[in-house]
Amino acid sequence: MKKKKLNKNWLHDHINDPYVKLAQKEGYRARAAFKLKEIDEDEKLILPGQVIVDLGCTPGSWGQYVRRKLAGAEGGGINGTLIGLDMLPMEPIADFHFIQGDFREADVLRQLEDHVKGKKVDVVLSDMAPNLSGIALSDAARMEHLIDLAIEFSQAHLKPNGALLVKCFKDMGFNDIVLKFRREFKTVVQKKPKASRDKSSEIFLLGRGLKNPTDGMLSAQPFDSDEIHP
């Protein structure tokens, strides 16, 4: 009975959420687009001509926002390269190169390399989060693991002055994640956009400028694909 009431309350809040209504009005697939929009407007993150990789991109609202920022003349494609990866399928987005698969697998990384065409990446975005077990230590470890994957990916593919934006949660090993970011990036800022619900411990970390960039592709290392969702 309690779970049913919680679901009903969530549905009520969701239907009446101004960002849900705005997403529907502006044609975004999810309200998450406005989180990235606010961060981008504050930090001048997305610029024409960039190579951008969106990890955990499904259902595609971040990709939609970035595509609009990179759009050229009406019907003229985009000024830049936009690539998304996810283990879940995604409805197509114009000028968006979607790769379905685990980005730690060699064949998926090869597909990414084909799309990048030898260029280094300007921005890596990650809206990934773990499927929650309800066990605090386990959930924190899963969240930290996802951040580790995003950092390793960035070390291999980002330009030295590139940026990594990831979703975190204050109650999921956040302090350890911040320390990792500070070890890897020259500047680190925390962002809590208005579109992120007040009740949520969700927060975003933005790292700029790799301290120790590496060259080449990552070696594939298997992990439990059931652990993550976009």
Which residues lie across from 120 on neighbouring strands? Answer: none
Q: Is 167 a catalytic residue?
A: yes
86 known member of a binding site: yes
User: Distance between CA 167 and CA 146 in Å, rounded?
Assistant: 10
Residue 208 CA to its chain's centroid (Å): 15
107 known member of a binding site: no
Catalytic residue among 35, 37, 69, 167: 167
DSSP secondary structure string, 95-143?
TEEEEES-TTSHHHHHHHHHHHTTPPEEEEEE--EEPP-S-HHHHHHHH
72 known member of a binding site: no
DSSP secondary structure string, 19-63?
HHHHHHHHT-SSTTHHHHHHHHHHHT---TT-EEEEET-TT-HHH
60 known member of a binding site: yes
122 known member of a binding site: no
Contact 178, 138 (CB under 8 A): no
User: Which residues does the annotation place in the binding site?
Assistant: 60, 62, 86, 102, 127
User: Which residues does the annotation place in the binding site for S-adenosyl-L-methionine?
Assistant: 60, 62, 86, 102, 127
What residues act catalytically?
167
